[in-house]
Amino acid sequence: MNNFQDSRVLITGGVGFIGSSLARSLVALGARVTLVDSLIPQYGGNLHNIADIRDRLTVNVCDVRDRFAMEYLVQNQDYLFNLAGQTSHLDSMTDPQTDLDINASAQLAILEACRRANRGVRLVFASTRQLYGRPDYLPVDEKHPIRPVDVNGINKLAGEGYHLLYSSVYGIRASVLRLTNTYGPGMRVKDARQTFLGIWIRQLLEGQPIKVFGDGKQLRDFNYVDDCVDALLRAATDDAAIGKVYNLGSSEVVSLGDLALLMTGLVPGGHFEIVPFPPERKAIDIGDYYSDFSLIRAELGWAPQVGLREGLVRTIDYYREHGRHYWEATA
């Protein structure tokens, strides 16, 4: 018997990239899953992400900013995975208020809804490594100073802070994961609004050069989506995670130039070019980053299992077959 058999699970942002992969795992574990997603066209929600499991879960097209709807939806849930988010760093600078409304205010409202209607729920919040800003040292552990370089990082920090506060003050069992770059089938690949990796995959498959900004020497770590889902499930079920913050990450650290080489080698005719950093991106760039994830490894036994090359092969194969559902997707 697993923890999720017949349990009631709510996933905000559930039609998005990570939420839909999580939903697939939970459905397989026998959970009764409800997805909440606004399907705002320029965001990451895509109904193709759940095409194979659509008849095994409930989809509620609803915005997490709708407090009355959320107060109703959190009732009687055993688990709540809080993944809905405005995820574009650039958009958070051009439209900071929307980022604040979704990533901070709505999170507080969801926690208030839990306090009033379901204090027994088990919560996991998807935070981001972006809130560390430009690292003072590498790898970055959870004790690293917090110095966000964009509005998104500040609002995600507030979002995770509310979860931890409601855990310590009201006893609502919440955990926070600070995700690093996550990739895999279902990620948004339409344009460069979210991660550069998405647009790289699309450009490669369309025979266009991929563009590496700067000198290509920037270091990053990446998690394949299945490893991220594994971490979310562990955080939700291990009491050691209550009230805690954990970094995710990978010990396979790669420069963006080497990543471009690896990816272009996976697609016949693939090529890349090094171009100057667009100024609006340079201003919020964090330089080199990779995580120290030893805390979650020690406390929850988590470590990434899928290597970068293998994960990229799986991802590119997926978009070869399903790309048309993503290139022009509106939801």
Ligand X SMILES: NC(=O)c1ccc[n+]([C@@H]2O[C@H](COP(=O)([O-])OP(=O)(O)OC[C@H]3O[C@@H](n4cnc5c(N)ncnc54)[C@H](O)[C@@H]3O)[C@@H](O)[C@H]2O)c1
**Is 17 one of the binding residues for ligand X (CB under 6 A)?**
yes
Closer Cβ to ligand X, 41 or 269, answer by number: 41
CB of 156 to ligand X, least distance (A): 6
Closer Cβ to ligand X, 153 or 270, answer by number: 153
Closer Cβ to ligand X, 197 or 204, answer by number: 197
**Is 195 one of the binding residues for ligand X (CB under 6 A)?**
yes
Q: Which stretch binds ligand X (CB under 6 A): 15-23, 235-243, 259-267, 321-329?
A: 15-23
**Is 65 one of the binding residues for ligand X (CB under 6 A)?**
yes
Q: Among 7, 23, 32, 43, which residue interacts with ligand X (rule: CB under 6 A)?
A: 43
Q: Among 4, 9, 13, 139, which residue interacts with ligand X (rule: CB under 6 A)?
A: 13
Total number of residues binding ligand X (CB under 6 A)?
A: 31
Closer Cβ to ligand X, 39 or 240, answer by number: 39
Cα 226 to chain centroid distance, Å, stands at 12
Q: Which stretch binds ligand X (CB under 6 A): 43-51, 207-215, 250-258, 300-308?
A: 43-51
- Write the secondary structure of the chain as one string of H (helix), E (strand) and C (coil): CCCCCCCEEEEECCCCHHHHHHHHHHHHCCCEEEEEECCCCCCCCCHHHHCCCHHHCEEEECCCCCHHHHHHHCCCCCEEEECCCCCCHHHHHHCHHHHHHHHHHHHHHHHHHHHHHCCCCEEEEEEEHHHHCCCCCCCECCCCCCCCCCHHHHHHHHHHHHHHHHHHHHCCEEEEEEECEEECCCCCCCCCCCCHHHHHHHHHHCCCCEEEECCCCCEECEEEHHHHHHHHHHHHHCHHHCCCEEECCCCCCEEHHHHHHHHHCCCCCCCEEEECCCHHHHCCCCCCCCECCHHHHHHHCCCCCCCHHHHHHHHHHHHHHHCHHHHCCCC
**Is 243 one of the binding residues for ligand X (CB under 6 A)?**
no
Q: How far is CA 7 from CA 77, 78, 177, in A?
A: 8, 6, 22
Q: Which stretch binds ligand X (CB under 6 A): 17-25, 134-142, 203-211, 281-289?
A: 17-25
CB of 246 to ligand X, least distance (A): 13
CB of 178 to ligand X, least distance (A): 7
**Is 15 one of the binding residues for ligand X (CB under 6 A)?**
yes
Query: Contacts with ligand X in 111-150 (CB under 6 A)?
Result: 126, 128
**Is 44 one of the binding residues for ligand X (CB under 6 A)?**
yes
**Is 9 one of the binding residues for ligand X (CB under 6 A)?**
no
Closer Cβ to ligand X, 7 or 88, answer by number: 88
Cα-Cα-Cα-Cα dihedral of 8, 174, 75, 26, to 10°? Answer: -20
Closer Cβ to ligand X, 50 or 300, answer by number: 50
Query: Contacts with ligand X in 160-179 (CB under 6 A)?
Result: 179
Q: Which residues bind ligand X (CB under 6 A)?
A: 12-13, 15-19, 36-40, 43-45, 63-65, 83-87, 102, 126, 128, 179, 181-182, 188, 195
